[in-house]
Amino acid sequence: MAYGGASRWLRVFHPAAGAPRVVIFPHGGGSASYYHGLSKVLSPAVEPVIVQYPGRAERLSEPPLEDLSAVVDAVIGELDAQAGTGVIGYFGHSMGASIAFEVARKRPPQHLFLSGRRPPEHHRQDNFADRGDAAILAEVKRLAGTSADVFDNPEILEMVMPALRADYRALQGYVPDVATVVDSPITALTGDDDPRIAPDEALDWAHHTTGPFARHVFSGGHFYIDNHLPEVAAIIRSGLVG
């Protein structure tokens, strides 16, 4: 279901009229459907509104965006067009955390949840996009975010590679401002075995808010969420509902 009934960018799998809303920003190469399980656990206390980037799922025929700032601007336009009453939080995972953080600079949420992403002072410029598909696939496998069946099925791989290439190109061109501070409370979430961010690095997200800060570390790697849906949902609910 499109949010508000008419958005290409926003999906609601579990409507919860009158509940506070959380906008979920998927990881690189990810689609809204990956967060269906989290959406189910969050509802009905919170209504999850999940961003669907172009170039995947029902937007497969649309060219994916290779500029992270273009994604940020498009999402802000959609949120402004769909604006209504109620509490809004942002939850972003991996690349989605960078997008959520940039959106929060211009449209501060009640609470900002940043998962599996280094803060700006620990940003490392990767060049997977320049190194080609083999490097991108090796990194995705290392993060264990996609079923191994994808890499064994040429037809599926042909469908997912354009979005992966675009997302890694967008990440390669993204340089966060280390001086950025938002007024929203920030909660950082990470896995204790995530190769992309050390638990201690997540603590430095505290430097980027004028409000309260909290960090939660879970067992698992980059996609720790898969095994901790109830705990992650509880943290989101607590930040938006109390």
The pLDDT of residue 98 is 98
- Mean pLDDT, rounded, of the chain: 91
Rg (CA), the chain: 17
- Read off the pLDDT of residues 3-32 as tens digits, 9 standing for 90 and up: 555 588 999 999 998 999 999 999 999 999
- Secondary structure (3-state) at 1: coil
In this prediction, residue 2 has a pLDDT band, given cuts at 50, 70 and 90, of low
Which tokens go with 34? 């990956």
Model confidence, pTM: 0.94
Domains of the chain are 3-124+178-240 (3.40.50.1820)
In this prediction, residue 151 has a pLDDT band, given cuts at 50, 70 and 90, of low
Q: How far apart are CA 70 and CA 73, in angstroms?
A: 5
pLDDT (mean) for 230-239 = 98
Flag whether pLDDT at 103 surpasses 80: yes
pLDDT (mean) for 219-240 = 96
- 28 within 8 A of 94, measured Cβ to Cβ: yes
Q: Phi and psi dihedrals of 213, rounded to 5?
A: -135, 145
Angle ∠(165,74,201) on CA atoms, nearest 5: 65
Q: Which residues, other chains included, contact 32 with Cβ-Cβ below 8 Å and sequence gap of 6+?
A: 11, 13, 24, 26, 50, 51, 52, 57
Flag whether pLDDT at 45 surpasses 90: yes
Query: Catalytic site residues?
Result: 94
Measured CA to CA in angstroms, residue 29 lies from 95, 107, 166 at distances of 9, 24, 9
Q: How far apart are CA 39 and CA 229, in angstroms?
A: 9
Flag whether pLDDT at 1 surpasses 60: no
- Read off the pLDDT of residues 158-208 as tens digits, 9 standing for 90 and up: 888 899 999 999 999 999 999 999 999 999 999 999 999 999 999 999 999
The pLDDT of residue 222 is 93
The pLDDT of residue 149 is 62
For residue 109, the surrounding DSSP H or E stretch is none
Q: Phi and psi dihedrals of 188, rounded to 5?
A: -100, 135
